Structure 1
Amino acid sequence: MHRVHRRRILTAGAGAGLSLLLSRWLERHALADGPAAPPARATSIIVLWMNGGPSHIDTWDPKTGKTGGSHKSIATSVPGLRISEHMPQLAKVANKLAVVRGMTSKEGNHQRAQYLLRTGYSPNPTVSHPSLGAWMSLRRGAVPNGLPPFVSLGGPSVGGGFFGVQHGPFVAQPPGAAPPNVAYGPFVDAERFEARRKLLADADARFAKETGDVKVEGRRAVYEQAYKLMHSAHIKAFDVSEEPASVRAAFGDAPFGQGCLAAVRLVAAGVRFVEVTLDGWDTHQDNFGRTKRLMGTLDPAMSHMLLELGKRGLLDHTLVVWMGDFGRTPRINGNDGRDHYPAAWSAVLAGAGVRGGVVHGATDAEGAKVVRDPVRVPDLLATIATIGGLDPHDTAMSPAGRPISLTDGGTPVRELLAP
């Protein structure tokens, strides 16, 4: 008699590719309900992730003199606020923005900085911290219509940490398109698919009983999420082809622009946390040519995201965050580039719960140091969490039995919060 191997069952099931997109396994340690959270000003959060570390001087904090480079600055709709000449559409909606020019950290390595910006902690080999998106998933709960609560468009993100895979991001590639692997495979109908699900569940139960492997529950959760997504009528929220051509064109035809439009559709469908990645900001060479091109992609996408959220009645319920690894050096290197610089950089907030039209913090004349109102990364994440209805001092028990708080001692920046 041929033995049916569990691994073969896993690879045979329709939707297996979709399930793998949901990443790691779930550990069933106690994740008790958190403390009473503040009222959520934002029901959804969109993070525009500038991968590689964008230059603050060439975007939101322009300088004159030897560190300013070749980009010029322009006035905005906010008196006294000037930004890069290559963001003219964002200049028109600057009254909706809170520009944080006092960001500072000590992490100048990409992987460490990206972990810090997503989790509020520097990496620690003893614990895998959950990202802010994972906290939103855990505390705000599943989306009733079958969509994942945490979606990453255009690139990977930090996952669920010790919360487990079901609170990590669903990574959709390419952004703006319907996810692949959501239909039954060849020669598979609904009846056969359900039979395979039952066979897999039986194999999982037996495997868990025989081995005591807690990872089984995580895999079960992954497949259940995939099943719900496959059968959700709201999966079309990923697909921007349903939008009018004029709307798609306004966001720009780059994957990032289409991802921003998809993010609007996803939050309209109830997704809690969406991250959209624009890669290419690690400008050690040709900083000015590359940042000009990147802002040419960013400017229409971010500005029209804010406008479209407003038109659809979503901006008052959606927080939009612009951030990246760190800033870039004021000094221009021999390759006409700028290098890693965590000491001073910028982030931007807009939408629900945000005091628009303000600049918080300042750097010196060269953009080298924060001289007023410094903001640490845990403070920024505590601010975002508060707007999203999370208690920034919330804790969960790690697998080692240690209480881990949402951020590493972060305090919300009250000056950024709307009255």
Structure 2
Amino acid sequence: MIGHLQHHTHVSLRGSRVVRRRDFLKASAACGLAASAFNWTDVLAARADELRDRGMACILLWMSGGPSQFETFSPKPGHANGGETKAIDTSVPGIQIADNLPHMAKVANELAIIRSMTSKEGNHQRATYLLHHGYLPMASVKHPTLGANVADQIGNAASELPSFVQIGGRLPNSGGGGLLGVDYDPLIIQSATKPPQNTTPSAEANRFARRMQLLESMQGDFAAAGGAQVVADQLKVAKRATDMIHSPKMEVFDIEREPEKVRESYGSGEFAAGCLMARRLVEQGVTFVEVHSRGWDTHQDNFNAVRNLCGNVDQPSARLIADLKERGMLDRTLVLWMGEFGRTPQINPRGGRDHFPKAFNVALAGGGVRGGQVIGATSDSGTEVTDRPVMIPDLFRSVYHTLGIDPEFENISGGGRPIKIVDGGEVVSELFG
């Protein structure tokens, strides 16, 4: 296997994980290692341990449906396209955001607001895929999602808790492990106000063990008939689930263990509970947590709808950032607030805004990002990006850079094709300046 792959510029070391030969040779020289296949895994393991020791994590606050930039971080109160939305001052002189986000305004000193995000994809399914993977969907490749790549690179595989958790149910096209395999699929939490489904351990340990043995026995015939990989994947998931539900760390999913004052500080509702759970998970070493807010596809009654939606996410989002800061965790936890695209500058006859990927906004905090700034701008009407356009690959490259992950890293598809975790793009240097 290794001999075959040495004819290419990349050498497979563990399933889909690869390292460029020139990088290995540099590492070998620096470490005094012989350039042998035996030691290459050691090099990667040392690098992975180094990344894990930094304790970096990412929390993605996902506004499903496409949040209106005009009613969130890019208001246009002086133009007809801005509608009835007003702008308010923030904790940073000179920066204003929509009056729907008074709590986020108070933590603007921690926010880097990109107002010049731009894309060409205005279809919900494809745009959701794009903003989760950095790629558009392809029939021939199952791309790992952002959370899967982060879990692969800096997650702790030995942990009893999963490295990748999605809160708020399964989101179509948000992805999973893809070509990395089932180890990097997310644990789906339907509701943060309840314990994860089917995680109550059996009171009779022997009975549970017998059931697991029966499962393996029943799957034996299927494995022998050509389904060995499917069976192996299923048993792997079952084993990890078993370890998790018997772990004392399962209490991390119970937000009722938080003091009442802390719970109240996040506000009420599912999204608030999800943000609190996200902080608890990161605090326990989970690497990537995604919290979903739904309903942002405001084709009608946009102003009332977004006002209500912001009422659900404003306080929890701001409190999450402040809580991480107070606990000394913000510098190592990147928080992303975004959706799949923005909304049209023009207000339609139904009082709504339609899909608009040409210019939208993303907010980032923590993880070494310099807060208290706005990056990029749009025209007075909001129809064009007029300064510092930021493409999707630029954003992904910046996220990986922040977390200490090499954006040039390549996974290998089932057909032997190298797939970069980011295709093109440049780091948005202003985020760190």
Alignment TM-score > 0.5, same fold: yes
Structure 2 equivalent of residue 353 of structure 1: 368
Which of 261, 270, 283 is residue 246 of structure 1 equivalent to?
261
- By how many angstroms is 1:235 displaced? 1.2
Which of 362, 385, 393 is residue 408 of structure 2 equivalent to?
393
* 1:128 and 2:142 are equivalent in the alignment: yes
* 1:342 and 2:357 are equivalent in the alignment: yes
* 1:101 and 2:97 are equivalent in the alignment: no
Which of 212, 216, 226 is residue 211 of structure 1 equivalent to?
226
Structure 2 equivalent of residue 137 of structure 1: 151
Structure 2 equivalent of residue 196 of structure 1: 211
Structure 1 equivalent of residue 64 of structure 2: 51
SS of alignment partner, residue 81 of structure 2: coil
Letter of the structure 2 residue corresponding to residue 62 of structure 1: P
Superposed CA offset, 1:121-144 (max 9, x none): 011121111101111122223354
Letter of the structure 1 residue corresponding to residue 142 of structure 2: S
Q: How far apart, CA to CA, are the structure 2 residues paired with 1:236 and 1:300?
A: 25
Structure 2 equivalent of residue 31 of structure 1: 16
Query: How many residue pairs end up in the alignment?
Result: 389
| Contact 1:34/1:396, CA 8 A, preserved across alignment | no
Q: How far apart, CA to CA, are the structure 2 residues paired with 1:39 and 1:139?
A: 8
Which of 234, 244, 249 is residue 234 of structure 1 equivalent to?
249
Letter of the structure 2 residue corresponding to residue 264 of structure 1: R
| Contact 1:42/1:352, CA 8 A, preserved across alignment | no
1:90 and 1:212, CA in 2 relative to 1: closer, same or farther beyond 3 A?
Answer: closer
* 1:367 and 2:382 are equivalent in the alignment: yes
Q: How far apart, CA to CA, are the structure 2 residues paired with 1:248 and 1:170?
A: 23
Letter of the structure 2 residue corresponding to residue 182 of structure 1: T
1:394 and 1:205, CA in 2 relative to 1: closer, same or farther beyond 3 A?
Answer: farther
- By how many angstroms is 1:198 displaced? 2.5
Structure 1 equivalent of residue 344 of structure 2: 329
Which structure 2 residue ranges, 5 or more long, are not aligned? Answer: 1-12, 21-46
SS of alignment partner, residue 353 of structure 1: coil
* 1:177 and 2:194 are equivalent in the alignment: yes
* 1:158 and 2:143 are equivalent in the alignment: no
Superposed CA offset, 1:399-419 (max 9, x none): 12211110222322111125x
Superposed CA offset, 1:327-381 (max 9, x none): 0000000000000000000001101110111111111111111111111111101
| Contact 1:251/1:304, CA 8 A, preserved across alignment | yes
Structure 2 equivalent of residue 62 of structure 1: 75
Structure 2 equivalent of residue 25 of structure 1: none
Which structure 1 residue ranges, 5 or more long, are not aligned? Answer: 1-27
SS of alignment partner, residue 179 of structure 1: coil
- By how many angstroms is 1:190 displaced? 0.3
| Contact 1:177/1:241, CA 8 A, preserved across alignment | no
Q: How far apart, CA to CA, are the structure 2 residues paired with 1:190 and 1:410?
A: 52
Letter of the structure 2 residue corresponding to residue 196 of structure 1: R
Superposed CA offset, 1:35-84 (max 9, x none): 66896876110000000000111110111211001110001111211101
TM-score by length of 1: 0.89
Q: How far apart, CA to CA, are the structure 1 residues paired with 2:157 and 2:350?
A: 48
| Contact 1:176/1:261, CA 8 A, preserved across alignment | no
* Identical-pair percentage: 45
Q: How far apart, CA to CA, are the structure 2 residues paired with 1:281 and 1:42?
A: 33
Letter of the structure 1 residue corresponding to residue 189 of structure 2: A
Which of 301, 307, 323 is residue 286 of structure 1 equivalent to?
301
Structure 1 equivalent of residue 31 of structure 2: none
| Contact 1:42/1:387, CA 8 A, preserved across alignment | no
Letter of the structure 2 residue corresponding to residue 45 of structure 1: C
1:53 and 1:45, CA in 2 relative to 1: closer, same or farther beyond 3 A?
Answer: same
Q: How far apart, CA to CA, are the structure 2 residues paired with 1:310 and 1:380?
A: 23
Letter of the structure 1 residue corresponding to residue 427 of structure 2: P
Structure 2 equivalent of residue 167 of structure 1: 184
Letter of the structure 1 residue corresponding to residue 181 of structure 2: G
Q: How far apart, CA to CA, are the structure 2 residues paired with 1:219 and 1:211?
A: 14
| Contact 1:101/1:359, CA 8 A, preserved across alignment | yes
Q: More helix by proportion, 1 or 2?
A: 2
Letter of the structure 2 residue corresponding to residue 67 of structure 1: N
Higher alpha-carbon deviation: 76-85 or 140-149: 140-149
1:371 and 1:261, CA in 2 relative to 1: closer, same or farther beyond 3 A?
Answer: same
Q: How far apart, CA to CA, are the structure 1 residues paired with 2:400 and 2:411?
A: 15
Structure 1 equivalent of residue 41 of structure 2: none
SS of alignment partner, residue 176 of structure 2: coil
TM-score by length of 2: 0.86
- By how many angstroms is 1:213 displaced? 3.6
SS of alignment partner, residue 247 of structure 1: helix
Letter of the structure 2 residue corresponding to residue 135 of structure 1: N
SS of alignment partner, residue 108 of structure 1: coil
Letter of the structure 2 residue corresponding to residue 69 of structure 1: G
SS of alignment partner, residue 117 of structure 2: strand
| Contact 1:392/1:411, CA 8 A, preserved across alignment | no
Structure 2 equivalent of residue 8 of structure 1: none
- By how many angstroms is 1:253 displaced? 1.0
Q: How far apart, CA to CA, are the structure 1 residues paired with 2:128 and 2:209?
A: 40
- By how many angstroms is 1:241 displaced? 0.6
Higher alpha-carbon deviation: 133-142 or 271-280: 133-142
